[in-house]
């Protein structure tokens, strides 16, 4: 990849932090868009609620990567937090898309976050980017989330949606904050009947996929960022128990998950057998192509 000036939202998050580090290590200039008063030379302000982006932060950028969004698994889905989940995605994406579209010299590419929740519950059906949206809150939200980037695409900017699976990392996310600590205590177990497929991706491969997208002109529209071999929750449970040398005898019944997590239980109990067809067809090579290798790599760190 030729050296570029790249603006990034969500640069303090799990993926954003790793992406900034990776890009800078190769000599790229990174501008971090922040929702507070900028404190460093590499920062510029943006405010999704006011639909404001400091034009000086994105001017001269060859690429913009938009990752900022409220975490779906961070808190219980009260009506207020459900609104925050939605607003953070739609308002933020609209602000960025309109800002880049308004530039005299717009970036060549906008990479905008999305999620495998777009597909809803896929059952045991293998699903790639050609599949239509599914049903449910997250599927409807992902559709609206991607549609919010229309101003950028309409302006002729190559626009890519990273439909990302849960990221496997000990540094954060659902695995780092919840699953790894629970399993390390020997309290882990399958969720529901454990037969639902989980599409996952390692943090290293997520960052590499975004960089591959930035550098691959042929990629546009949705790109699934998932492992090429989804496995069931029961298999994930067994691998975690084996890697951590802990028992996995505490299954969580589906009704308990539905009662405690409410709508978020759709994502936990629903099946996501999603394949990264576009990444594979464009020559992307995974560092951790299997669930076991992704889990093993995260636990080593």
Q: Does residue 267 have a pLDDT over 80?
A: no
Q: Where does the pLDDT of residue 211 fall: very low under 50, low under 70, confident under 90, or very high at 90 and above?
A: very high
Cβ pair 72, 114 in contact under 8 A: no
Tell me how crowded residue 137 is: count the other CB atoms within 10 A of its CB: 18
255 pLDDT band, cuts 50/70/90, is: confident
Indicate whether 50 pLDDT > 80.
yes
CATH architecture of 5-167+200-226+273-287: 3-Layer(aba) Sandwich (3.40)
* Cα–Cα dist 194/237, whole Å: 8
pLDDT of residue 262: 59
pLDDT at residue 188 greater than cutoff 60: yes
The pLDDT, as a whole number, for residue 260 is 55
pLDDT at 25 over 90: yes
Distance CA 288, CA 295 (A): 9
Mean pLDDT in residue range 55-69: 96
State which H helix or E strand residue 114 sits in: strand 109-115
Task: Note the pLDDT of residue 269.
Answer: 78
251 vs 129, residue with greater confidence = 129
**Distance from C-alpha of 172 to C-alpha of 178, rounded to nearest angstrom:** 9
Q: How many CA atoms lie within 13 A of 174 on its CB side?
A: 14
Q: What is the pLDDT of residues 85-113, one digit of tens each?
A: 999 999 999 999 999 999 999 999 999 99
What pLDDT was estimated at residue 259?
Answer: 54
Place of tokens 């609209």: 94
| Mean per-residue pLDDT over the chain, rounded | 93
Mean pLDDT of the region 213-220:
98
pLDDT interval class at 251 (50, 70, 90): confident
Euclidean distance between CA atoms 222 and 224, whole angstroms: 7
SS3 186: coil
Residues 23-28 have a mean pLDDT of: 97
80 or 178, greater pLDDT: 80
Q: Which residue has the higher pLDDT, 249 or 298?
A: 298
pLDDT at 261 over 60: no
CB 133 within 8 A of CB 143: yes
Per-residue pLDDT tens for 232-248?
999 999 999 999 999 99
- C-alpha span between 86 and 70 (Å, rounded): 8
pLDDT of 265 strictly over 80: no
Say if CB 299 and CB 242 are below 8 A apart: no
- Indicate if the pLDDT at residue 178 is higher than 70: yes
So what's the pLDDT on residue 256?
A: 62
Confidence of residue 154 (pLDDT cuts 50, 70, 90): very high
Tell me the percentage of the chain whose pLDDT exceeds 90.
Answer: 81
168 pLDDT higher than 70: yes
């Amino acid at each position: 990849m030729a050296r570029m000036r790249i603006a990034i939202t969500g640069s303090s998050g799990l993926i954003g932090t790793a992406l900034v580090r990776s890009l800078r290590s190769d000599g790229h200039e990174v501008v971090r868009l922040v929702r507070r008063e900028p404190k460093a030379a590499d920062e510029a302000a943006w405010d999704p609620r006011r639909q404001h982006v400091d034009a000086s932060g994105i001017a001269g950028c060859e690429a913009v990567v938009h990752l900022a969004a409220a975490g779906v698994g961070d808190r219980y889905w009260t009506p207020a937090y459900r609104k925050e989940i939605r607003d953070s995605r739609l308002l933020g994406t609209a602000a960025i898309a309109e800002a880049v579209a308004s530039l005299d010299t717009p970036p060549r590419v906008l990479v905008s976050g999305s999620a495998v929740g777009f597909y809803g519950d896929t059952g045991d059906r293998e699903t790639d980017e050609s599949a239509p949206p599914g049903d449910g809150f997250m599927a409807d939200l992902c559709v609206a989330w991607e549609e919010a980037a229309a101003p950028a695409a309409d302006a002729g900017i190559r626009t890519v949606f990273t439909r990302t699976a849960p990221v496997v990392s000990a540094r954060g996310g659902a695995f780092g904050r919840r699953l790894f600590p629970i399993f390390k205590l020997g309290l882990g177990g399958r969720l529901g009947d454990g037969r639902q497929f989980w599409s996952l991706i390692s943090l290293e491969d997520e960052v590499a996929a975004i960089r591959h997208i930035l550098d691959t002109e042929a990629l546009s529209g949705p790109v699934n960022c998932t492992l090429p071999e989804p496995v069931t929750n029961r298999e994930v449970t067994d691998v975690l128990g084996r890697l951590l040398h802990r028992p996995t005898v505490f299954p969580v019944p589906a009704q308990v998950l539905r009662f405690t997590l409410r709508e978020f239980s759709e994502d936990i109990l629903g099946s996501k057998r999603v394949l990264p067809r576009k990444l594979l067809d464009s020559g992307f090579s995974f560092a951790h192509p299997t669930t076991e290798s992704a889990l093993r790599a995260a636990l080593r760190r």
